[in-house]
Amino acid sequence: MQDANLQRRLILNIPTAFLLLFFVLPLTALVVLSFWQTENYKIVHDWTLMNYTTLATEGAYITFFLRSLVMAVGVSVTLVALAWPIAYFIVRYGGRYRIIFSLLLVIPFLSGEVLRLIALQGMLGPAGLVNGALIRMGAAPLRMIMYSNAASFIAFIYLYLPLVVTTVYLSLINFDFRLAHAASACGANRFRIFTEVVWPLNLSGTIVGFMLAFIPTLSASLVPRFLGGPNGTLYGMSMAQQFGESGTWALGAAMGVVLFLFSAVALAILSYGVDLRRTGFTGLGRQ
């Protein structure tokens, strides 16, 4: 009895300690730092709201934030729209190769993000595969995809598609497709089978996929740095610069807090806005 209690406490306490040490503590430090100041690469321990005032009033930061927000929403919505047919195809028609198909999606992850971005740079850049071929054929190069927000958009889609496909795939593979037969026997056509049964019952999985793309896109710094070009600065990239070149750590911390709060709010809206029971979630697993 005593042993079981001890064991339970250990199992609970180890992750708790881990989270406190590596998540809550740094976050607290970040929040504290965001209310301080940095002058000449030194931290000044004066409590002030100045960082937040700067973020809320200076045009550049507002632009970066809105650009990031539009990018994140656009990327996540596009990804869900792309991932659904792919995942659906794998689940319905993949047969015994389903697991191989879904593992293939992971292959790009084996190389590392920077490498993949450099490869994309090679694809989309002025002398890259796409534009190089266009120029060879005597056509005008596509300026749109050279160091622009469109290039960043393509990169985000490329980076996060496997994640979203995998989450939707996992949701669909656990979906009982006989429910679709039942709906069909109840008089539902293909479109209504989808809107009334398949989509709502896979909504929670889809939301997870959406958030897995939305949150990193919102705070992305590498993609805009490699591919965004002069007008492609995103919030996360600007934040990284505060900690790097400009040495304005306190402002960077405030940007971090803003991102954190915004992501938390988005998560809260999505999870409270969706009645889990309306997605077939019983907390009891599939029955």
Partner 1 sequence: MSNASSYIRIDNVSRRYGAFKALDDVSLDISKEEFIAILGPSGSGKSTLLRLIAGLDRPTEGRIHFEGKDVTELAPHKRGIGMVFQEFLLFPHRTVRENLAFPLRMRNEAKGEIEERVEWVAGILSLSTMLDRYPSQLSGGQQQRVALGRGLVARPTLLLLDEPLANLDRELRQEMEIEIRRYQKQLGIPFIYVTHNQEEALSMSDRIAVINNGRLEALGERQAIYDHPQTPFVARFVGKSSKFQGVVEPDGATVRLTRHDYEFALPSDKTFKPGDAVEIFVKNERFDITPKQHGGAGIPSKVVDVVLRGPFLEYVLETDRGDTVIAVKPKRNDPIPLQERVLLSWNPADCHIFKDGADDARR
Residues that bind partner 1 (CB under 8 A): 176, 178-179, 181-189, 192, 196-197, 200-201, 277-280, 282, 284, 287
Alpha-carbon separation of residue 251 from 48, 264, 286 (angstroms)? 11, 20, 47
- Give the burial class of 78: count Cβ atoms within 10 A of its Cβ; 0-12 exposed, 13-18 middle, 19 or more buried: middle
**Based on CB atoms, which residue is closest to partner 1, 132 or 200?**
200
* Token pair recorded at residue 20: 């406190």
Least distance (Å) from partner 1 to the CB of residue 176?
A: 8
Closest CA to 228 of 59, 69, 68: 68
Least distance (Å) from partner 1 to the CB of residue 94?
A: 20
Least distance (Å) from partner 1 to the CB of residue 210?
A: 19
Least distance (Å) from partner 1 to the CB of residue 206?
A: 14
To which residue do tokens 């306490």 refer? 13
**Based on CB atoms, which residue is closest to partner 1, 8 or 278?**
278
Residue 137 is inside which H or E element, if any? none
**Based on CB atoms, which residue is closest to partner 1, 120 or 180?**
180
**Based on CB atoms, which residue is closest to partner 1, 78 or 279?**
279
What does the alpha-carbon distance between residue 121 and residue 115 come to, in Å, rounded to a whole number? 10
What does the alpha-carbon distance between residue 119 and residue 279 come to, in Å, rounded to a whole number? 39
What does the alpha-carbon distance between residue 73 and residue 70 come to, in Å, rounded to a whole number? 5
**44 forms bridges with which residues in the sheet?**
37
Asked if 247 and 41 count as a contact pair (C-beta separation under 8 A), the reply is: yes
Least distance (Å) from partner 1 to the CB of residue 198?
A: 11
Least distance (Å) from partner 1 to the CB of residue 183?
A: 7
Integer distance in angstroms from the first to the last C-alpha of the chain?
A: 33
**Based on CB atoms, which residue is closest to partner 1, 5 or 287?**
287
**Based on CB atoms, which residue is closest to partner 1, 34 or 202?**
202
